[in-house]
Amino acid sequence: MPMVEQPLRSRVSAANDEGCDFPIQNLPFGVFSDGQGPRCGVAIGDMIVDLAECEARGLLEAGGTFRAPQLNDFIALGRAAWDRVRARLTELLAEGADEDVPLVPMDKATLHMPIRVTEFTDFYASKNHAFNVGVLFRGPENALPPQWTHMPIGYNGRASSVVVSGTDIRRPMGQVKAENGPEWTACRRLDLELELGAIVGADSAMGQRVSVEEAEQMIFGYVLLNDWSARDIQAWEYQPLGPFQSKALGTTISPWIVTQAALEPFRSEGAARVNDLLPYLREERPGFYDMTVGWTMNGQKMGETNYNVMYYSSAQQLAHHTESGCPMRVGDLLGSGTISGPTQDQTGALLEMTQGGKSPVKVNGADRTFIEDGDRIGLYGFAQGDGYRIGFGPCTGKILPAD
Amino acid sequence: MPMVEQPLRSRVSAANDEGCDFPIQNLPFGVFSDGQGPRCGVAIGDMIVDLAECEARGLLEAGGTFRAPQLNDFIALGRAAWDRVRARLTELLAEGADEDVPLVPMDKATLHMPIRVTEFTDFYASKNHAFNVGVLFRGPENALPPQWTHMPIGYNGRASSVVVSGTDIRRPMGQVKAENGPEWTACRRLDLELELGAIVGADSAMGQRVSVEEAEQMIFGYVLLNDWSARDIQAWEYQPLGPFQSKALGTTISPWIVTQAALEPFRSEGAARVNDLLPYLREERPGFYDMTVGWTMNGQKMGETNYNVMYYSSAQQLAHHTESGCPMRVGDLLGSGTISGPTQDQTGALLEMTQGGKSPVKVNGADRTFIEDGDRIGLYGFAQGDGYRIGFGPCTGKILPAD
């Protein structure tokens, strides 16, 4: 029997261009609309596969879930369905395949939130970031909290303010520390956070502790995630119960969910461990990816690093999330925490890059410490394969003035 | 034209008993099932009005929302619908009224979660509690955080672990500080928190700041809320991002939502202000209620105080929640924070009552510092009127051993 080779090229020619984020090896899921209402699709090159129409034509089968304006119902079908649909799309979109596949040009479509976010949790898993920010908030002695190398520290964020790439973000008002008590002001230290977001794809029951291996099986895929942060509001509010309104102004995610399956070839070790982890957090296989992530401001490249600088994987974070018996649900979004490498040009937040606003950076010739009105922040991320790359597409947001 | 008197007595005789939580002045909303599936109801005396059946018979009108297994759809109809249904039920249930109203005996029914909790936020609004706990966690100098008298400090909790009264709670496992790094153990310092929970009854848009007056109009009603807390896990995990797994083991709410309308006659001032608040937090009318709240352990009365010891009202908390532009949604649940008066017998948590476990209290003759396996905690609350009281019914939970 002859070896069947994995098809490497797509019938959609733009998918074969070097540097295209959406080759046939990727097949990320999203929600789009054109003339008709929002429904589920998959990106391929410069096109979107209309999955609802595919199912209507009998090209694939997903219980009608692709007609929904979010992917939660499809994701809830489980891993076997994810794998089956991915395999079928790989057939349908391969070079030489000739079944008629309904495609919509991406530039004619509007992209929507890919999921209804059930709950949003944000972690703090880059050691460089945790140390750098800790120095700025608490000084070098207390920079890294004592439990940091023992557990993935996280907090519950606000799901209602998660928005899709392209949504403008309003500069928030808030309380800020001033000389005589607090002042009510527009945020003066508005920042981004470069993160990856993991989408939980299966429920766990209340009281059920999920192992790291099980947790990995529960993850459907990943988005880019910008956790906009009001640093001056944060500094005044965050003790002792953590960040609240400083992180509720908006969280931007990419419209395309890159599946775990697409990232599998890029599996990588993470940062070196300082100490052994407790057994419930130990990972048999490394749960990180060799994946470039970075951000731009008004089109200029700013910080760039690799996701594999992280100290805790999404699977470890998800396992920890259930340690108390907390139930997880399809559509839960877990932010990785800001991804920062050790050097200034590898930082994923202006707070770190400018050392708390003390060292401005040049952006298109102008000095910047924090984000100004009208600034546009873009995130990017891709895993580089042999002749193709698995990318996320854009994840951008522009800041509107406070009102 | 003669004055029409508000009917004070109900055709359901148990509703007229002194000390009954559910007189005709109350009419709290919940979700119940008997032979048929879960649907919406209102408590009256020892009976439940089957609202779905009421609508089916044309006795009242709510767009079919009472057939749902949660109240979110009804609540989303808005304040005019809440008021109309309340007024109609007051007519139907008055002494002397003779229309046939479908009633189900409460002891034949199962009570369910009254709402699908969209998101859960927990505040920290009793000055006594904040100070007492602050002393135990950080010492007397840093007990009350500097922003505490200027803003309602809160954090996002976990919605998925909110359960209805009567649900057993499993003692959590977790990381706890030990001599050489952390230890993985069953929680040894399990506690309750006596709180009131406000149910948000209207959406706000992203970027919209809601005033305190508008916020009050957005609140549908209140439940009792026990925010179970693993104090040893909390102490190790909570810096700098706030409590996480220590608060995710479970949060118990009462099955009945007491409406704002029922509590209106009990409107009260809260605690005296230490300093002026910023304008966005100022309240024209006092937003607290003169309402007794307390808790029991294995049937023994433990702490009792009044909701009007609180420093920030639910309306102030909700207004603050939107200061950054964070959108709120129907079904959001806002915990008041532990309600504690100044004296030991008025505290709403064992941490405070036993001074961090140093001073045991007697429960049915035995020493207790924190909650032991098999212990049952009950919350109660009622506003005492002239010859009637507006009560919540039971809010209980029993602790199962860790597994």
Query: How close A344 comes to chain B (CA, Å)?
Result: 23
Note whether B241 contacts A246, CB cutoff 8 Å.
no
Note whether A156 contacts B154, CB cutoff 8 Å.
no
Distances (CA, A) of B199 to A249, B58, B64, B76, B117: 22, 28, 21, 11, 9
Query: How close A159 comes to chain B (CA, Å)?
Result: 8
Identify which of B177, B278, B326 has the shortest CB distance to residue A248. B326
Note whether B163 contacts A206, CB cutoff 8 Å.
yes
Query: How close A263 comes to chain B (CA, Å)?
Result: 29
Which of A156, A234, A252 should we substitute to test contact with B (largest number of B Cβ atoms within 10 Å)?
A: A156
Rounded mean pLDDT of A356-366?
96
Residue A238 is given by DSSP the state -
Query: How close A370 comes to chain B (CA, Å)?
Result: 17
Which of B148, B190, B241, B329 should we substitute to test contact with A (largest number of A Cβ atoms within 10 Å)?
A: B241
Which of A244, A246, A251 should we substitute to test contact with B (largest number of B Cβ atoms within 10 Å)?
A: A244
Rounded mean pLDDT of A122-144?
89
Which tens digit of pLDDT belongs to each residue from A167-210? 999 999 999 999 988 999 999 999 999 999 999 999 999 999 99
User: Could you tell me which chain B residue has the CA closest to the CA of A229?
Assistant: B324
Predicted pLDDT at B5: 52
Residue B91 backbone dihedrals phi, psi, to 5 degrees: -65, -50
Note whether A240 contacts B245, CB cutoff 8 Å.
no
Identify which of A157, A172, A279 has the shortest CB distance to residue B324. A172
Identify which of A157, A161, A240 has the shortest CB distance to residue B327. A161
Closest CA to B129 of A326, A181, A241, A158: A241
d(CA B280, CA B322): 11
Query: How close A157 comes to chain B (CA, Å)?
Result: 6
Interface A-B, measured as beta-carbon pairs within 8 A, has a size of 186
Which of B135, B167, B239 should we substitute to test contact with A (largest number of A Cβ atoms within 10 Å)?
A: B239
Note whether B181 contacts A275, CB cutoff 8 Å.
yes
Query: Using a CB-CB distance cutoff of 8 angstroms, which residues of chain B are in contact with residue A278?
Result: 175, 182, 184
Closest CA to B15 of B28, B3, B2: B28
Beta bridge partners of A178: A181
Give the pair of three-digit tokens for residue A254. 């990419």
Whether the bond between A240 and the residue before it is cis, its omega within 30 degrees of 0, is yes
Task: Find out whether A160 and B328 touch, Cβ atoms under 8 Å.
Answer: yes
Predicted pLDDT at B382: 98
Which tens digit of pLDDT belongs to each residue from A210-221? 999 999 999 999
Domain ranges of chain A: 13-112, 120-400
Residue B208 is given by DSSP the state P
d(CA B227, CA B122): 9
Give the count of beta carbons closer than 10 Å to the beta carbon of residue A292.
16
Helix (H, G, I), strand (E, B) or coil at A196: strand
Predicted pLDDT at A5: 52
Which tens digit of pLDDT belongs to each residue from A76-87? 999 999 999 999
Closest CA to B161 of B28, B261, B251, B47: B251
Note whether B323 contacts A145, CB cutoff 8 Å.
no
Which tens digit of pLDDT belongs to each residue from A290-344? 999 999 999 999 999 999 999 999 999 999 999 999 999 999 999 999 999 999 9
User: Could you tell me which chain B residue has the CA closest to the CA of A182?
Assistant: B150
Query: Using a CB-CB distance cutoff of 8 angstroms, which residues of chain A are in contact with residue B153?
Result: 237, 240-241, 244
Identify which of A138, A184, A249 has the shortest CB distance to residue B280. A184
Note whether B182 contacts A147, CB cutoff 8 Å.
yes
At A148, is the pLDDT very low, low, confident or very high (cuts 50, 70, 90)? Answer: very high
Identify which of A174, A240, A325 has the shortest CB distance to residue B323. A174
Give the pair of three-digit tokens for residue B399. 């602790």
User: Could you tell me which chain B residue has the CA closest to the CA of A320?
Assistant: B245
Which of A241, A278, A312 should we substitute to test contact with B (largest number of B Cβ atoms within 10 Å)?
A: A241
Active site residues of B: 129
Predicted pLDDT at A1: 47
Catalytic residue among A129, A150, A320, A321: A129
CATH of A13-112 given 3.30.390.10, 2.40.50.100, 3.50.50.60, 2.30.30.230:
2.30.30.230
Residue A374 backbone dihedrals phi, psi, to 5 degrees: 90, -15
Give the count of beta carbons closer than 10 Å to the beta carbon of residue B394.
17
Q: Which helix (H) or strand (E) holds B390?
A: strand B389-391
Q: In this model, does residue A2 exceed pLDDT 70?
A: no
Instruction: Calculate what percentage of chain A has a pLDDT beyond 70.
Output: 98
Distances (CA, A) of A354 to A142, A310, A351, B363: 20, 21, 6, 57
Predicted pLDDT at B316: 98
Identify which of B147, B206, B236 has the shortest CB distance to residue A236. B147
Predicted pLDDT at A94: 96
Give the pair of three-digit tokens for residue A108. 């004619």
Task: Find out whether A338 and A194 touch, Cβ atoms under 8 Å.
Answer: yes
Note whether B156 contacts A160, CB cutoff 8 Å.
no
Query: How close A248 comes to chain B (CA, Å)?
Result: 5
Give the strand pairing for A300-306 and A395-400. Answer: unpaired
Q: Does the CA dihedral A81-A67-B63-B80 come out positive or negative?
A: positive
User: Could you tell me which chain B residue has the CA closest to the CA of A163?
Assistant: B206
Identify which of A138, A160, A280 has the shortest CB distance to residue B328. A160
d(CA B248, CA A327): 9
Rounded mean pLDDT of A149-172?
98
Give the strand pairing for A361-363 and A366-368. Answer: antiparallel
Give the pair of three-digit tokens for residue A263. 């990232």
Residues of chain B with pLDDT under 70: 1-7
CATH 3.90.850.10 is right for the domain spanning B120-400: yes
Predicted pLDDT at A56: 98
Residue B250 is given by DSSP the state -
Q: What is the ipTM of this complex?
A: 0.96
Q: What is the mean pLDDT of chain A?
A: 96
Residue B235 backbone dihedrals phi, psi, to 5 degrees: -60, -35
Rounded mean pLDDT of A249-259?
98
Predicted pLDDT at B38: 98
Note whether A324 contacts B246, CB cutoff 8 Å.
yes
Give the pair of three-digit tokens for residue B200. 């948000």
At A230, is the pLDDT very low, low, confident or very high (cuts 50, 70, 90)? Answer: very high
Query: Using a CB-CB distance cutoff of 8 angstroms, which residues of chain B are in contact with residue A324?
Result: 172-174, 230, 233, 245-246, 248-249
